[in-house]
Amino acid sequence: MKYVIIALAVLLVLIIISCIKIVPQAQAFVIERLGAYQGTWSVGLHFKVPFLDRVAKRVLLKEQVVDFPPQPVITKDNVTMQIDTVVFFQITDPKLFTYGVEAPMIAIENLTATTLRNIIGDLELDQTLTSRETINTKMRATLDEATDPWGIKVNRVEVKNIMPPAAIRDAMEKQMKAERERREAILKAEGEKKSTVLVAEGKKESAILEAEAEKAAAILRAEAQKEKMIREAEGEAEAILRVQQATADGIKMIKDAGADESVIKLRSLEAFAKAADGQATKIIIPSEIQGIAGLAKSVKEVL
């Protein structure tokens, strides 16, 4: 009897422990009582009624990512391609998620496939390849609206990969190669054009600089010649001035010494001779000096 009581006590303790539930962070427990929805447990410590309550579903409230396999779709211009998508979603209502739809992930996958086919069916191949953002936006809006009764919030939808048929890929690669070669030829031609223009501009600038240098040299030569002529003229004028000043000083000294007019005229004649300095072929002598010149010749003959 004693062992029976101990066994019952141990069983009671185990039952009590099994009725204690701790809900972790970012999770929720959906509780049913006798098969009917009883409530949703959030984070914390909870107790359930033994044999009556049960945890119907453990729901993860974190944002989840599901990568669906490629789906065959047909574009508006009848090109069949494979497109796979990635859906980012979060469960906002554990009750609706539990009782809203059977197999929610399968439902989302099928809904994604049908939505993608509807969107791609209105686009041509080129639009499909260049309109990923538009496709993502339309799919997210459609999926979010459709999954709202299931307690699911679709945060983002991304087209992961677009795979056209092999023939289309080959044609696209050839087109891209031709486009690259065309751009390369254009860039090369533009480079050669710029190089030619730069060379021409360099030659033009060089010619301008050479012309300016020759002009400056000619100006300097002219200024040097001008300066030379001015200095020569000034030197000659200075020499003549000094000769005339010396002659005037000599005549003044003779006159101060009491010499007569004939001597003064003779000194004037000598001054004219020095002024000529052997450079002139003809000297015009005043008539007053001509007489004294004859007198000087007669004196020379007597001597």
Mean pLDDT in residue range 222-230:
85
Distance of CA 281 to the CA centre of its chain: 84
- Partners of residue 39 on adjacent β-strands: 31
User: In the chain, how many domains are there?
Assistant: 3
Q: Which of 243, 297, 299 is nearest to 272 (CA)?
A: 243
Q: What is the pLDDT of residues 120-161, one digit of tens each?
A: 988 888 888 888 899 999 999 999 999 999 999 999 999 988
Which H or E run includes 36? strand 36-41
Residue 27: its H or E element:
strand 27-33
Please check the confidence at residue 266 and state whether its pLDDT lies above 70. Answer: no
Between 252 and 291, whose confidence is greater?
Answer: 252
pLDDT tens, residue by residue, 78-112: 888 899 899 999 999 999 999 988 888 899 999 99
State whether 27 and 92 are in the same domain: no
Together in a domain, 150 and 88? yes
Residue 57 burial (C-beta neighbours within 10 Å; 0-12, 13-18, 19+): middle
Non-local (6+) Cβ contacts of 150 within 8 A are 96, 97, 100, 101, 104, 107
**Cα(68)–Cα(17) distance, rounded to whole angstroms?**
41
Of 131, 177, 147, residue with least CA distance to 66: 147
CA distance 151 to 36: 19
For residues 56 and 68, membership in a common domain is answered with no
Q: What rounded mean pLDDT belongs to the chain?
A: 81
Among 164, 183, 215, the domain-final residue is 164
Q: Are residues 33 and 73 in the same domain?
A: no
In a domain? residue 240:
no
Whether 33 maps to a domain, the answer reads yes
The pair of structure tokens assigned to 229 is: 């002529």
Domain presence at residue 40: yes
Residues 29, 97: one domain? no
Residue 214 has pLDDT above 80, yes or no: yes
The domain of 156 spans: 64-164
| Partners of residue 285 on adjacent β-strands | none
CA contacts within 13 A on the Cβ side of 48: 25
Domain end residue (candidates: 164, 195, 210): 164
Report the SS3 class of residue 265. Answer: helix
Q: Are residues 159 and 118 in the same domain?
A: yes
First to last CA, the chain: 195
Measured distance CA(162)–CA(10) in Å, rounded: 62
Q: Are residues 15 and 52 in the same domain?
A: yes
pLDDT tens digit sequence for 182-201: 888 898 888 888 888 888 88
56 and 105 within one domain: no
What whole-number distance in Å separates Cα of residue 10 and Cα of residue 19?
Answer: 14
The enclosing domain of 73 has a CATH number of: 3.30.479.30
For β-strands 80-91 and 71-74, DSSP reports them as: antiparallel
Q: Are 131 and 166 in contact (CB under 8 A)?
A: no
**Per the domain annotation, does 294 fall within a domain?**
yes
Q: Of 18, 33, 60, which one is at a domain's C-terminal end?
A: 60
Q: How far apart are CA 124 and CA 8, in angstroms?
A: 74
Query: Exposure string (b/e) for 92-129, b if CB count within 10 Å is 16 or more?
Result: ebbbbbbebbeebeebbbebbbebbeebbeebebeebe
C-beta separation of 70 from 120 below 8 A: no
Other beta carbons within 10 angstroms of residue 235's beta carbon come to: 10
Same structural domain, 104 and 85: yes
- Residues 81, 159, single domain; the answer is yes
- The percentage of the chain sitting over the pLDDT mark of 90, rounded to a whole number, equals 26
Would residue 124 count as lying in a domain? yes
> Does 27 reside within a domain?
yes
| Angle, in degrees to the nearest 10, between helices 166-256 and 261-276 | 160
In a domain, 127, yes or no: yes
Quickly state the pLDDT bin for 58 (edges 50, 70, 90). very high
Domain membership flag for residue 184:
no
Amino acid at 33: R
Residues 78 and 148 in one domain: yes
